């Protein structure tokens, strides 16, 4: 597991796409399998937040309980600065914008997804296009709130779902979503930038984007 940042309080790992953070019923590895390697003392580590199984990139792990409380408070208050990269289906008509669309969980049988709902809590995401290959777009997303599946649902709401998103209409073949950068403005700060994963690298290069 590639470690992007580490001090006595915390570490940030570069989570591969396809690796769940928690053990799943079907078995197989998870991020929690690595906890014994990172443990300091009798307790911990702890996940400071979550990433979807198919989302790659920066995941913050608390090594101290005091840091866990600080980090969770920052995420809850929207003070954690998160930046995502995604490959969207199609080319957007505008170069940038802000999506302000509340989202609520909708369940059908065993399946669920986040859907627009004006009565739901706020969900706000800023976005800008970094490039395209003539067919699809490389987009930077900066969420201002932290709703479940917010980037995925907002991309679909924009009319351009993330490629490989089987839930929100981007087709199959691996979710092209990267938790690219994270910054927790603590003292000292926690800062990390993830590498571009193999399943997105060719597209990023084709867009000639400056990252």
DSSP reduced 3-state for 69: helix
Q: What is the pLDDT of residue 115?
A: 96
Q: Quickly count: other Cβ atoms within 10 Å of residue 175's Cβ.
A: 26
Nearest to 150 by CA among 61, 78, 46, 48: 78
Q: What is the DSSP code string of 106-145?
A: EEETTEEEEEE-TTSPP-EEEEEEEEE-SSSEEEEEEESS
Chain segment 67-87, per-residue pLDDT in tens: 999 999 999 999 999 999 999
Read off the pLDDT of each residue in 80-109 and give the average, rounded to a whole number: 96
The rounded percent of the chain whose pLDDT value lies above 90 is: 89
From 52, 54, 132, 136, active-site residue: 52
Identify the structural domains of the chain with CATH numbers, from first to last: 3-207 (3.30.2350.10)
User: What is the signed CA dihedral for 13, 19, 24, 29, rounded to 10 degrees?
Assistant: -80
| Token pair belonging to 155 | 């991309």
pLDDT above 90 (res 178): yes
Q: What is the mean pLDDT of residues 9-30?
A: 94
The verdict on whether 52 is a catalytic residue reads yes
Nearest-Å Rg of the Cα atoms of the chain is 17
Please state the rounded mean pLDDT for residues 58-70: 97
């Amino acid at each position: 597991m590639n470690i992007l940042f580490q001090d006595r309080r915390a570490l940030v790992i570069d989570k591969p796409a396809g690796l769940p953070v928690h053990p799943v019923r079907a078995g197989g590895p998870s991020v929690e399998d690595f906890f014994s390697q990172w443990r300091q003392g009798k307790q911990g580590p702890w996940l400071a937040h979550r990433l979807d199984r198919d989302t790659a990139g920066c995941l913050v792990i608390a090594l101290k309980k005091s840091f866990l409380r600080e980090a969770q408070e920052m995420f809850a208050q929207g003070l954690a600065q998160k930046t995502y990269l995604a490959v969207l289906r199609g080319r957007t008509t505008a170069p940038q914008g802000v999506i302000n669309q509340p989202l609520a969980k909708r369940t059908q049988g065993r399946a669920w997804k986040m859907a627009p709902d004006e009565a739901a809590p706020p969900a706000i995401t800023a976005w800008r296009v970094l490039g395209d290959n003539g067919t699809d777009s490389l987009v930077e997303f900066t969420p201002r709130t932290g709703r479940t599946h917010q980037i995925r649902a907002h991309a679909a709401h924009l009319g351009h779902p993330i490629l490989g998103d089987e839930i929100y209409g981007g087709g199959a073949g691996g979710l092209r979503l990267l938790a690219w950068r994270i910054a927790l403005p603590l003292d000292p700060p926690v800062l990390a930038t993830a590498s571009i994963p193999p399943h997105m690298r060719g597209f990023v290069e084709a867009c000639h984007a400056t990252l």
